[in-house]
Amino acid sequence: MIVFCNAKVNIGLRILGKRSDGFHELQSYFIPVAIKDALEIIDADHDGLQILMSGIELPENGGANICSKAYDLLNEQFKLPGLDLHLLKTIPVGAGLGGGSSNAAAMLLLLNDKFDLKIENEELRILAAELGSDVPFFIDNVPSMVSGRGERLDPFNVDLSNYWMQIIDPGIHCSTAGIFARHSIDPDTEDLRTALVRPVADWRNHVFNDLEKAAFELYPEIEEVKEILYDCGALYASMSGSGSSVFGIFEKKPNAQDPEPLIES
């Protein structure tokens, strides 16, 4: 069985404070985008999960490890047979696009389907939250307002069907912990739901990623990418998540040679 698991971008990211569990209380709008990894599982005559990686080279244990954790999580309850997993990576790593989280959610969904475990999506989201803050989003994989530490999801639609998105990966592996350690909270930032109902052309002055300032201090190249997108005519540009990827939303196709829009419906 094979599945393709897409990336996401954050349109706006508000950091509201530190929680008692050590995580941050946040508010963000996640949308799926059409950059995809592929996962294939094959029956095997050994115990456990063995993983073959291809595509983008990952840090040691990166990406594949979270797929193993997803397998182990279900194996504890259902005693799964041995499997081989082939993970083809094309989603950049450490880029704020949720590639590892998408892989983990895809693994849960794939195992649920292959072995007919009959786990409802609500329960899958609870399991997904044990694997990472962004993983629950990829279970239903629909545009959503995200809150809590990422586990609270509220479907929320902003019509971007007539716009184009360009994503640039500057090739920097951002340290999420390092960026969170440097960020500051702006209590006066407009509520994200209110900001997103404004025209896209107004987002530049109302929809903010609270982690950008810290990320730009650590990695000035990311800020340069954002300015390039605005220079190229983007209505709105922002770093996704804790970076390092930056996306621009355009009113029309930026270049005749560009691929189809990355925004998924």
C-alpha torsion angle, residues 52, 46, 103, 222 (rounded to 10) = -40
Please give the biggest Cα pair distance in the chain. 58
Q: Which residues are catalytic, by number?
A: 8, 134
Rounded-to-integer distance, Cα 211 and Cα 185, Å: 9
d(CA 195, CA 205): 9
CA angle, corner 67, sides to 66 and 71, nearest 5? 115
Contacts of 79 (CB under 8 A, 6+ apart): none
List phi, psi (to 5°) of 69: -65, -35
Alpha helix (H) ranges present in the chain? 64-78, 99-114, 121-131, 137-140, 176-182, 192-196, 212-218, 220-231
What length does the chain have?
Answer: 265
Contact 67, 13 (CB under 8 A): no
Strands annotated E in the chain: 2-18, 24-43, 49-55, 83-89, 144-148, 152-155, 164-168, 236-239, 246-250
